[in-house]
Amino acid sequence: MQFTIECQARPEGSKPNALRRSGKLPAVLYGHKGNESISLVVDSKQAEILLRQASINNSLVQVNIPELSWNGKALLREVQTHPWRGTPYHISFFAVADHGSLEVDVPLHFVGTAKGIKEGGGSLDPSMNSLHVKCVAEKIPDYIEVDVSDLEVGGAIHVSQVNLPAGVEALNDPERVVVTVLPGGGSGTAGS
């Protein structure tokens, strides 16, 4: 999924708390020119909308900075939140246009109902909820589906058995267990 956010260069000498009180959120963009970074501000409401839909180290964001004539794709890299309010406090973006492959964590979605649940009364036991993968920015999947339909009681799916989209490579240990079906009760359906 593609997201877009408008940013402005952060006024020199501006204080983060003063920006927050005025409805702006401090942000930073790294990687657009090597080690150089740009201090930015974004509208707090725009940032909250973005953060409800995007995920850290997985979502590409079209970052537009009109006054600096810079537009480009960036990975949502870090979000700092207020300790007890939970509201966004600071956002970091990492420009990805010229960086080739990236390493990101992609959520796993378990689909289907395992045979071991339907026929054997077992329960689904996910060992992982995301995969660490390497791919170019344009190929970052929103999620990776893992079909558990053929799993019997005691059966397992390993990282090497997960079907990945073209151009996406898993970096986890290929023998690591992703999901198994345990004997005994439980809800049993994927995604529950």
pLDDT at 96 over 60: yes
Instruction: Report pLDDT digits (tens) over 28-61.
Output: 988 766 667 888 999 989 888 888 888 887 778 8
Smallest CA-to-CA distance from 188 within 140, 129, 116 is with 116
Domain boundaries, the chain: 3-98, 102-182
Residues in Cβ contact with 20 at an 8 Å cutoff, skipping those fewer than 6 apart: 26, 44, 89
Q: What is the mean pLDDT of residues 124-147?
A: 89
User: Do 3-98 and 102-182 come out as alike in CATH topology?
Assistant: no
pLDDT band at 2 (very low <50, low <70, confident <90, very high): low
Provide the pLDDT for residue 1: 57
pLDDT-wise least confident of 44-58, 120-134, 177-191:
177-191
**Lookup: tokens for 137:** 């920015």
CA distance 25 to 99: 27
Task: Among 3.40.50.300, 3.50.50.60, 1.10.1060.10, 2.170.120.20, name the CATH number for the domain at 102-182.
Answer: 2.170.120.20
Q: What is the mean pLDDT of residues 66-94?
A: 84
Element (H, E) at 88: strand 88-95
Q: CATH homologous superfamily for 3-98?
A: Ribosomal Protein L25; Chain P (2.40.240.10)
Task: Say whether pTM exceeds 0.85.
Answer: no
CB 75 within 8 A of CB 102: yes
pLDDT band at 185 (very low <50, low <70, confident <90, very high): low
Provide the pLDDT for residue 14: 87
**3-state class of 127 per DSSP?**
coil
Element (H, E) at 8: strand 3-9
The runs of H, that is alpha helices, within the chain are 16-21, 44-53, 115-118
